[in-house]
Amino acid sequence: MVYGQRIATALACGVVLSCAAAALVSEADAQARPDTRKMTCAQAQALVKQRGEVVMTTGANTFERFISSARYCYSRTPLTVPSYAPTKDNKQCPVGKRCRQSRRFTD
């Protein structure tokens, strides 16, 4: 019976440690991506300008990749358009740009 209690205790400790590790990883993941809603418009713009490209949280379940110039686009004919996100001081802050592929029309 004592042996069985030791196994149960060891398993319980393993589960607790696993849950604690998972919580730490989840918290680290959440902190890894900057949140535009916690910055001023100027701070968000400065971060994009400084890094060149950055993925930021823009809402409860949304995120977006912002770039500073077309050199961060992956297509052959990179075009950029302004990209907006909510910040502490601006509901539609022009945080940076996003890539857009060109549309070629043929007759």
At residue 94, the pLDDT reads 98
- Alpha carbons 42 and 52: distance in angstroms, whole number: 15
Q: pTM for the complete prediction?
A: 0.66
3-state helix, strand, coil in the chain (%, to 5): 45, 25, 30
- Domain range annotation of the chain: 1-32, 33-101
- Alpha carbons 12 and 15: distance in angstroms, whole number: 5
- Alpha carbons 34 and 24: distance in angstroms, whole number: 17
Provide the 3-class DSSP secondary structure of residue 89.
Answer: coil
Give residue-wise pLDDT tens across range 3-35. Answer: 556 655 555 555 554 555 555 555 555 557 999
At residue 2, the pLDDT reads 59
At residue 106, the pLDDT reads 53
Give residue-wise pLDDT tens across range 51-64. Answer: 999 999 999 999 99
